[in-house]
Amino acid sequence: MAAIPVTPAPTGSAALTGSAALTGKAAVPAAPTARAIEFSDAISAASSHFATCFVSVAAGKHNLPHWGLDSTIVFVTFRLADSVPESVLSQWREELREWTARHTEPLSDEAKQEYLSLFPNRMGKWLDRGHGNCILANESCRNIVASAIEHFNGERYRLHSYVIMPNHVHVLFELSKRDELPRILHSWKSFTAKALNKVRGTSGEVWMRDYYDRIVRNAEHYERCLAYIRKNARAAAKMAAIPVTATPA
C-alpha cells in the first residue's frame, strides 16, 4: 500500500439520515475521542445495492464465519489488540469454536440470532466499556486510521459511513467483488499497525487478528447499521468522561 498522508478531521457537522439529500462527505456529531463520517451520495444510492441472499464462503483460518457476495454492502468491525482482556477473549473464542462445531450452513433464522447475541453483540458490549489503552482516542492516531480507510474509496470500494472509536472501528461500505473483503481489511490493518507503532514509538501487535463482517440484507438492516454507527459516536462522549477499568463479565 502506498504511503498515505495523514489529513486533519473535517470541520463542521451534519446529522444525516438514510434518505439524506446532502452530497459528499460530512462529519457526524461525536466526542473529541471519536471520528464519524458519512458519505451521503453513497447513502442516497444504497437502496439499489442491497443483497438479496446470503452466500457462504469458507471460514478463515481462525474459524470465524465470514460472508461474501459481489456488489453488496457490508458492515465490518475490527478492534485493537488490547480492547478485550485476554482471559475473557480466550473463553469467548472457545465458546465460539464449540458453537461453530455444532452448527452447519445454512443456518436457521433462530441460529443466526443466537450467533449474533452470543458473539458479535456480546463483543460489542465489551468494546463499548473502553478497555485497553484506547490509542484511537488520540487525534493523530485516529487520522492515520481514517486516511487508510478513505484512501481507496471509489476505487476498491465505496464508503457509506464509518466511526473510529477509542478502541475499535466500524465501517459500512460497498464491495465490488466478493473476494475483496479479506484483502481490504488486511490492507487497512497492516498499514495502520505500522504507522501507529511508528507515531507512538512502539512495536508489536496493534489490532486483534479477527474481524466481523455482515452483509446488509435490506433497507431496514441498513438503517440499523447507520444508527449503530451514530450511537457509537455519541457513546464516545461517555467513554471520555467516565474511565472504565472493570473486566467484562
pLDDT tens, position by position, 195-230: 999 999 999 999 998 888 888 888 888 999 999 998
**Of 116-120, 139-143, 183-187, the least confident:** 116-120
Q: In the numeric block, which cell numbers belong to residue 141?
A: 492516531
Averaged over 23-38, what is the pLDDT?
75
Whole-number pLDDT of residue 20: 30
Residue 162: which of 143, 175, 146 has the closest Cα? 146
Helix axes 139-151, 180-200, angle to 10 degrees: 150
Averaged over 36-49, what is the pLDDT?
84
Question: Which long-range contacts (C-beta less than 8 Å, at least 24 apart) are formed by 146-150?
Answer: 146/7, 146/9, 146/35, 146/37, 147/4, 147/5, 147/6, 147/7, 148/1, 148/4, 148/187, 148/188, 148/191, 148/192, 148/195, 149/188, 150/37
Q: In the numeric block, which cell numbers belong to residue 240?
A: 471520555
Whole-number pLDDT of residue 245: 33
- The amino acid occupying position 105 is E
Averaged over 131-145, what is the pLDDT?
91
Averaged over 85-94, what is the pLDDT?
73
The answer to whether 35 and 142 have CB atoms below 8 angstroms apart is yes
Averaged over 54-73, what is the pLDDT?
52
pLDDT band at residue 240, thresholds of 50, 70 and 90?
Answer: low
Mention every residue, 6+ apart, whose C-beta is less than 8 A from residue 41: 23, 24
pLDDT of 51 > 70? The answer is no
Q: What pLDDT digit, counting tens, does each position of 164-199 carry?
A: 999 999 999 998 776 789 999 999 999 999 999 999
Whole-number pLDDT of residue 1: 38
SS3 content of the chain, % helix, strand, coil (to 5): 40, 15, 40
Q: How far, in Å, CA of 110 to CA of 8, rounded?
A: 44
Q: How far is CA 77 from each of CA 62, 67, 96, rounded to the nearest angstrom?
A: 16, 14, 17
**Of 22-36, 74-88, 136-150, the least confident:** 22-36
Residues 134-143: b if buried by 16+ CB within 10 A, e if exposed: bbbbbeebbb
Strand partners, 159: 173
Q: How far, in Å, CA of 166 to CA of 131, rounded?
A: 9
Tell me the average pLDDT of the chain: 75
The answer to whether 83 and 168 have CB atoms below 8 angstroms apart is yes
